[in-house]
A and B are shown apart, each in its own frame.
Chain A
Amino acid sequence: MTISTDFGVWIAALLTLCVFSFLYKDNPLYKFAEHLFVGVSAGYYIALNYWTVVDQYLVIPLRAAFDGSQAGGPFQAQMQDYRGWLIVPAVLGVLLFTRLFTRLSWMSRWSLAVVMGVFAGLKTTGFAQGDLVAQVQASLVPLWIPGDLWGSLNAILFTVGLVTSLLFFFYSREHKGVLGGVSRVGVWFLMISFGAGYGYTVMSRISLLIGRFQFLLVDWLHVR
C-alpha cells in the first residue's frame, strides 16, 4: 500500500478527519476545521462575486459606456444592454455600505427596499406562470381512460390527493366537519409522500458518505 504524496490530498484528508472527530464530541480539531472552512469560504465567496458579478456585470459595462466609444452616448441602451444606466444599481450598491456609518445607515434602506420590491415582483410573475398556472394546467387529467383501469385509478388518486392536500392549507375555517375530514385525508397524502421522499434522500446522503470514504481510502491511502 502506498500513501498519496500529493500535499493537497493530505490537507483535504486531515481536514476530513478533523470534521469526522465531531462524531466523538466537539473538540479543538473540529473547531479548527470549522473556523478554517467558514473563513476560507467567506473570503472565496467575496472574491468570486467580485469577478463574476461586480466586475462582469457592472465595472466592465460601465467602463465601456463611458470610454467615449459608444455611438449615441453612454445612455444609449440596446435591449438587454443597459450600459450607462448601470450607474443606478451602482449607487444603490454603494448605499448598502452606509450601514458602516451609524449616522448614514438609514440610507441603506433605500437599496433594501428596491431589492425586496424587485424580487417580490419578479417572483410573483415567475411563480404565477411557472408554478401556479403550469401546475394547475398539468393537473387537468381525464378521470376515466377507456380501457386503462390502472391509469384511471391513478388519475382519480392524483386528483383526490391534490384537492385534499390543497384544502389542508385552508386557514379561514377550523378543520372540523367535512373540511376536517377532507384535510385529514390531505395530511395522509402528504405524510406518505414525505415517507417516500425520506427514503430517497437518505439513499443520496449515504452515497455522499461513501464518496468521502472513497476519497480517504483511494485518493489518500491508495487502497484499491
Chain B
Amino acid sequence: MPLAASVRRLVPFALLLVVLASPAPAAAVASADSLRAPAPPTGLLYADVPNDAGHAMSLTWTLSPDDTGRAGVVSGYFLERATTPGGPWAIVDSVESGTRAFTDLTVQREVTYFYRVAAFGPGGTTRAGAAAGPAIGRATWFNVSRVSVLVFLLAFFLLVLYYMYMAQTGRKPFVRRLAGIDAIEEAIGRATEMGRPVLYVPGIQDIDEIQTVAGLVILESVAKMTARYDTPLRVPVSYPIPFTIAQEMVRSGHVDAGRPDAYDPESVQFVSPEQFAYVAAITGIMLRERPAAHLFVGSFYGESLMLSETGYATGAIQIAATANVHQLPFFVVACDHTLIGEEIFAASAYLSGEARLVGGLKGADMLKLVIVAVVIAGCLLETFGIHTLTVWMQTQ
C-alpha cells in the first residue's frame, strides 16, 4: 500500500526526531512552566519613609516561589495603589524579577492608601490575596538624620555671634595681614597715579553664588577707595540682580568716602549672562580703555585664563580672588596677586575693618579649629575600628 510504504519510510525520520528531542526535556518543561501564571508574592509590608515631607512610602514583599532567578515564570512585579481597600487600583510602577522592595515617591501627604503587589510573567499575572494598608505618608518636622548638621551650624553661629559681640564691645580680634588684599589698595593707588581707571569684575555667576555676594561686598570697599582717590571705576556685570546690587554698592562706597557727587551710575554696566559674550566685552574694555588695575573677585570658570591673559598683555596690575579650585591655577600664573579660596570671604572683613565682620571671621576661624579636632579624632577612632562619629555625621 502506498500509504503504508510512506509511513514505513517516515519511521527513521520520526526516530531521528525523537533522538534529537530527547536531550531537551528540561527546556520542554521550562517552556511548559513559562506558560503558567506565577505563584503570587506574599507578605507585602508598608512603612512611611521617616524624616521626609510625607511624600514617600517604603514597600517590601516576599518573592513569588516561582521567582528563582532564572528567566521564565516571573518577569517582574508591579505595584498597585488605591485609596480604598476595594479599589479602583492604579499601577504605581513595575520592577524586575528578584526585587523585594520599592519606594513610592508619588504619595500625597496625609492621604490614606492601600497597596497590593502582583507577579507577572509570560503565563499571566497573579495578584497577592490581600491589600496592605491603610498607609499614610506623614511629614516630620525634624529630620533626625541631620542632627550633626544642626550641631555644626549652631556651633558656627554661636562662635560668630560671640566674637561679633566681643568685637562690638571693643575687643576687636586680631586678623593677620593678607598680602593679596593689601595689594588692592596699592593697585588702586597705581591707577590713580597713572590717571587710568580700575576694572572690577565680580565673576560670571548670579546672586545665588556666594562668591558673587562676596565679590559685591568687596566692591563697596573698592568703590570707597576709588572715590577717595577720585579714580574712575568700571564694573561690568553679567546678571541683572548682581548688576542692581553692584550699583548700590558703588553708590554706597562713594557715600562712605564722602563723595556722593562723584558717583557715576554708568560706571556699573550690565553686559550679558552669556559667558563668552561677557568675556569678549571685558577684553574689549581692557584693550580700549586700558585700566591700570584689574580686580577679578568672584566665581570664574573657563574665562579665567582669557581674562587674566589679556589683562597680563596690557601690562595692568592684576589681583584675582576666587574659590573655584580649577581656575585658581590660571590666576596664580597670570596675576600679580591671588586670593585663594576662603581668602575671598575674609577680604571683605579685612578691607572694611568693621567690628561685626571681623568678629564673624574670628568665629569662622574657631570653627576651623573644631573641624581640625573632629578630623583628627575621627581618623583615630576609625583607625581603632570605632565608627560612632562617622555614623553620627552621616546625613540623609
- With beta carbons under 8 angstroms apart, the residue of A33, A129, A141, A205 that contacts B280 is A33
Given contacts A136-B374, A169-B343, whether A129 and B149 have CB atoms under 8 Å apart is yes
Q: Which candidate, B61-69, B75-83, B127-135, B324-332, is the interface stretch facing chain A?
A: B324-332
Within 8 A of A (CB), among B233-255: 241, 244-245, 247-248
Query: A170–B149 contact, CB under 8 A?
Result: no
- With beta carbons under 8 angstroms apart, the residue of A127, A172, A195, A201 that contacts B365 is A172
- With beta carbons under 8 angstroms apart, the residue of A172, A191, A201 that contacts B330 is A201
Given contacts A41-B272, A172-B365, A190-B340, whether A34 and B379 have CB atoms under 8 Å apart is no
- In the complex, residue of chain B having the shortest beta-carbon distance to the beta carbon of A162: B375
Q: Which candidate, B29-37, B116-124, B381-389, is the interface stretch facing chain A?
A: B381-389
- Chain B residues near A112 (CB, 8 Å)? 241, 244-245, 248
Query: B346–A171 contact, CB under 8 A?
Result: yes
**Chain B: interface residue total (CB-CB under 8 A):** 76
- With beta carbons under 8 angstroms apart, the residue of B273, B277, B328, B381 that contacts A140 is B381
Cβ contacts B345-363/A at 8 Å (1 or 0 each) = 0100010000000000110
Rounded to whole Å, the gap between the CB of A45 and the closest CB of chain B is 5
- In the complex, residue of chain B having the shortest beta-carbon distance to the beta carbon of A40: B277
- Chain A residues near B330 (CB, 8 Å)? 198, 201
Query: A128–B149 contact, CB under 8 A?
Result: yes
Q: Which candidate, A5-13, A58-66, A114-122, A215-223, is the interface stretch facing chain B?
A: A114-122
| B210 CB within 8 Å of chain A | yes
Rounded to whole Å, the gap between the CB of A31 and the closest CB of chain B is 7
- Chain A residues near B53 (CB, 8 Å)? 79
| B47 CB within 8 Å of chain A | no
A57 CA to B329 CA, complexed, in Å = 39
| A137 CB within 8 Å of chain B | yes
| A90 CB within 8 Å of chain B | no
- With beta carbons under 8 angstroms apart, the residue of A134, A163, A205 that contacts B375 is A163
A49 CA to B276 CA, complexed, in Å = 18
| B70 CB within 8 Å of chain A | no
- With beta carbons under 8 angstroms apart, the residue of B176, B278, B287 that contacts A172 is B176
A79 CA to B56 CA, complexed, in Å = 14
- With beta carbons under 8 angstroms apart, the residue of B270, B379, B389, B390 that contacts A143 is B379
| B141 CB within 8 Å of chain A | no
- Chain B residues near A210 (CB, 8 Å)? none
- Chain A residues near B385 (CB, 8 Å)? 142
Given contacts A166-B371, A170-B365, A194-B332, whether A142 and B383 have CB atoms under 8 Å apart is yes
- With beta carbons under 8 angstroms apart, the residue of A19, A124, A134, A169 that contacts B153 is A124
| B378 CB within 8 Å of chain A | yes
Query: B207–A163 contact, CB under 8 A?
Result: no
Query: A34–B244 contact, CB under 8 A?
Result: no
Instruction: Tell me the interface secondary structure of chain B in the complex.
Output: helix
Query: A123–B245 contact, CB under 8 A?
Result: no
Within 8 A of B (CB), among A99-124: 99, 108-109, 112, 115-116, 119-120, 122-124
| B10 CB within 8 Å of chain A | no
Rounded to whole Å, the gap between the CB of A140 and the closest CB of chain B is 3
A167 CA to B361 CA, complexed, in Å = 14
Query: B325–A197 contact, CB under 8 A?
Result: yes
- With beta carbons under 8 angstroms apart, the residue of B176, B340, B372, B376 that contacts A171 is B176
| A133 CB within 8 Å of chain B | yes
Given contacts A129-B149, A163-B376, whether A41 and B277 have CB atoms under 8 Å apart is yes
Cβ contacts A140-155/B at 8 Å (1 or 0 each) = 1111100000000001
Query: A137–B271 contact, CB under 8 A?
Result: no
| B148 CB within 8 Å of chain A | yes
| B208 CB within 8 Å of chain A | yes
Given contacts A116-B245, A134-B395, A194-B332, whether A31 and B381 have CB atoms under 8 Å apart is no
Given contacts A129-B146, A132-B152, A142-B382, whether A194 and B329 have CB atoms under 8 Å apart is yes
| B281 CB within 8 Å of chain A | yes
- In the complex, residue of chain B having the shortest beta-carbon distance to the beta carbon of A158: B379
Query: B371–A143 contact, CB under 8 A?
Result: no
- Chain A residues near B381 (CB, 8 Å)? 140
| A188 CB within 8 Å of chain B | no
- Chain A residues near B281 (CB, 8 Å)? 34, 38
A175 CA to B174 CA, complexed, in Å = 12
5 contacting pairs across A/B (C-beta < 8 A): A26-B288, A116-B213, A119-B207, A140-B390, A197-B329
Chain B residues close to A by CB (< 8 Å): 53, 55, 109, 146, 148-149, 152-153, 156, 173-176, 178, 207-208, 210, 213, 241, 244-245, 247-248, 270-274, 276-278, 280-281, 283-284, 287-288, 302, 305, 325-330, 332-333, 340-343, 346, 350, 361-362, 365-366, 368-369, 371-372, 374-376, 378-383, 385, 389-390, 393-395
